[in-house]
Chains A and B, each alone.
Chain A
Amino acid sequence: MNIRKIRDLIGTKLMLVLTIFVSLLFFLIFIILFFNSLLILESHSIIELLFSSTWNPMKDQFGLFPVVIGTILVTGISMLIAIPISLLSAIYITEYSPKKFKRPIRSFIDVLAGVPSVVFGLCAFIFLVPLVRDFIAPFFGVESTGLCIFTASITLSIMVFPIIISICVESFNSIPIELKEASLSIGATKWETVKKVIFRASAPSIISAILLGFGRAFGETIAVNMVVGGIPRVPSSIFHPGETLASLIASKYGELMSIPLYQSALMFVALTLFIVVLFFNLLGVFILRKARRRWKY
C-alpha cells in the first residue's frame, strides 16, 4: 500500500514537472531569441531593420524590408491559391463524393500531409520551375528563371492543402445531419445548403484552419529556400526571385557562427518569425472562441 502511494506521488509530481516545463517552453524560446537579438537592437532600431532595403552584413547593413515583402508575397499568394481549392475539395469530400471514395481520398490527403518538405522542394524544382519558366511567366510577358516568388507560393499552397482540408472535413462531418435536412427540406439546393448553412456553421473551424495553414506557410523553410531564388531584393514581379524570413535563416546559416552581429541579426529574424506566428496562432484561438459563442447551434 505504501509503495503504491509513493509511486502515485512520484508519478504525479513527474507529470507536473514535465507539464510545467512544456508550458513554459515557448516563453523560454522567446527569451533566448530575444536576448540573442539584443546585440543588433543596440546598434540598429527595429524600424531600420524591418524597413530599410539594403542587406549587406559586411557593411553593417541589415535591412530586412525585401525579405519582409518577399515573405508577405509568398505566403499571401500561397494562401490565395490554397484557401479556395482546399475548401472546395473538403466540401466535395464530405458532401458530394460517393461513400466508397471517401476513405481512399482521405488517406491520400494524409499521405500528402506526411511528405517531407525537402521532397516538396525537390519536386517543385523539377516540375514547377520549368513550368513557370517556360509557360506561366512568358504567358504574362515576364522573363523568369523559374526560381521565383510564384513557384515558392505554389509549392507552399500544396503543402498547406492537407492542413486546411483535414480540419475542414473534420468540421463539416461534425455538423448534425438534421441541420442539413432543415435547409434541404425548405427546398434549398445542396450547394445553397453548403454555402449558407455548412460554411456558416463551421466558420470558426474554417478560420482556424486557414490561420493554421498560414502559420505553416509563413514558417516553412526548406521547400521555400529551394525554389524561391534566395535573393534579398524587393522583387519587381512575382516571377522574380525573392527571399523569405525563414528561408533567409537557412541560407545564411553557414555564416551564422562567424560574426556576433550577424548572428544576432539572424536571431532577430527568428524572433520576428516567432512573434508573427505566435500572433496568428493566438488570433486563431481567439476567433475560434469568440465565434463559437455566437455561432452555437
Chain B
Amino acid sequence: MEILDKRNFEEKIFKILMIFSLLVVLSSLIIIVGIVLFRGGSSLSLDMITQVSTGELYQSGTGGILNAIIGSLLLALPATGLAYIFGIFIALFLQKDFLHPRISVFIRLSLDILWGIPSIIYGVFCVMIMMFLGFGTSLLAGIIALTFLEIPIITRSIDESIKMVPDGLKESAYSLGSTRFETAVRVVRKQALPGIIAGVLLGLGRGIGDAASILFTAGFTSNIPTSLLDSTSALPTMIYFLYLSPNPLAQQKAYAAAFILLVIVLTISILSRALTKKSTKYVIK
C-alpha cells in the first residue's frame, strides 16, 4: 500500500507539472496576441493603411505602411503560386505510379532538409544568385527567395495528403482508360484537395510572415513597386526596421504594423480551416 501511495503521489506531481507546462504554452500565445492587440491597436489609424511610408515614419512616426502591406502581398502571393506549381507536380510525381519508392524516399529526405534550412540561408543564397546575374534588391529576388522557402512546406504537405488517397481510387481511374498524368491531375488532386489547400495556406502564412529571407532580397523603399525589378518593402521587414529605429513613436508604429501582420496571418489560418472543411465535398471516404 505504501508503494502505491508513492506511485500515486508521483502521478499527481507530474500532472501538476503538465498543467503548468500547458499553461505556459497557452499563456505565451495569449500574451503575444494581447500585446499586439493593445499596443498595436492603440496606435493604429486610418493613415496607417492608406498612406505610404516616408522617411518621416522612422523619424517622427507619421505616415503609413500601405506600401509594406501591398509589398507583402506582391511578394507572398506570386511566391505561393509558384511554390504550389512546384509542390503539386513534385508531390504527384512522388507517387509510386511514377517513381520507384526507393527514389521517392531520397527526394522526401531532401525536401525535409530544405524545410529545415533557416530562412536567412535562402535570403543569402538568392542575394548571391541575383548578384551573379547582375540584379540588385528587387521584388523578383524576394519572390524567388520566398518561393524556395515555401516549396518544401507546400510540397511535403501535399505529399502527405496524397499518400492518403486510396489505391483503389487510382485503379478505378486507370480501368476507365485514364493515363497516369490524367489520373494524377484529375483524380488524385481532387481527392487530396483539402490537404492541398491546407498546405498552400500553410506556405502562404509562412511566406507572408518571414523577414529573414526578404531582408536582403526585396530591399527597402517607400514606394509601391511598379515592376518586378523595383525594390519593395514588406510588413515583416518594415516592422523590423521600425523596431530598430531609436524613436519611440516609430517603435510604436512597429506594433501597429505587427497588428496588421498578425491579423493577416490569423485570417489565413482561419481561412485554411474553413476551406479545408468546405473542400471535402469531392472526397470519397
Contact = CB atoms under 8 A, between A and B. Distances in A.
Do A and B come into direct contact in the complex, CB within 8 Å? yes
Interface in A91-105: 91-93, 96-97, 105
A158 to B, nearest CB: 5
Contact of B118 (A22, A88, A273): A273
Nearest to A116: B209
Contact of B25 (A29, A97, A112, A212): A112
Interface residues of A, number: 82
- Scoring A29, A32, A96, A282 by chain B CB atoms within 10 A of each residue's CB, the highest score goes to A29
A193 B99 CA distance: 41
A236 B116 CA distance: 31
Main secondary structure of the interface of A (DSSP, over half): helix
Contacts of B231: none
Interface of A: 4-5, 7-8, 11-12, 14-16, 18-19, 22-23, 25-26, 28-29, 32-33, 36, 84-86, 88-89, 91-93, 96-97, 105, 107-112, 114-123, 125-127, 158, 161, 165, 189-192, 212, 215-216, 218-222, 226, 246, 249-250, 253, 256, 266-267, 270, 273-274, 277-278, 280-282, 285
Contacts of A219: 116-121
A97 B25 CA distance: 15
A194 B255 CA distance: 42
Contacts of B216: 253, 256
A92 B121 contact: no
B240 A119 contact: no
B14 A88 contact: yes
A7 B181 contact: yes
Contact of A16 (B15, B35, B93, B215): B93
Interface of B: 7-8, 10-11, 14-15, 17-22, 24-26, 28-29, 31-32, 35-36, 39, 85-86, 89-90, 92-94, 98-99, 106-107, 109-114, 116-122, 124-125, 127-129, 148, 151-152, 155, 179-182, 185, 205-206, 208-212, 215-216, 236, 239-240, 243, 254-255, 258, 261-262, 265-266, 268-269, 273
A4 B182 CA distance: 9
A88 B106 CA distance: 33
A221 B31 CA distance: 22
27 contacts: A4-B182, A8-B180, A8-B181, A15-B93, A23-B111, A25-B151, A88-B20, A108-B29, A112-B32, A114-B209, A114-B268, A117-B211, A118-B209, A118-B240, A119-B261, A125-B243, A127-B35, A189-B8, A190-B11, A191-B7, A215-B116, A216-B118, A219-B118, A226-B243, A266-B124, A280-B116, A282-B113
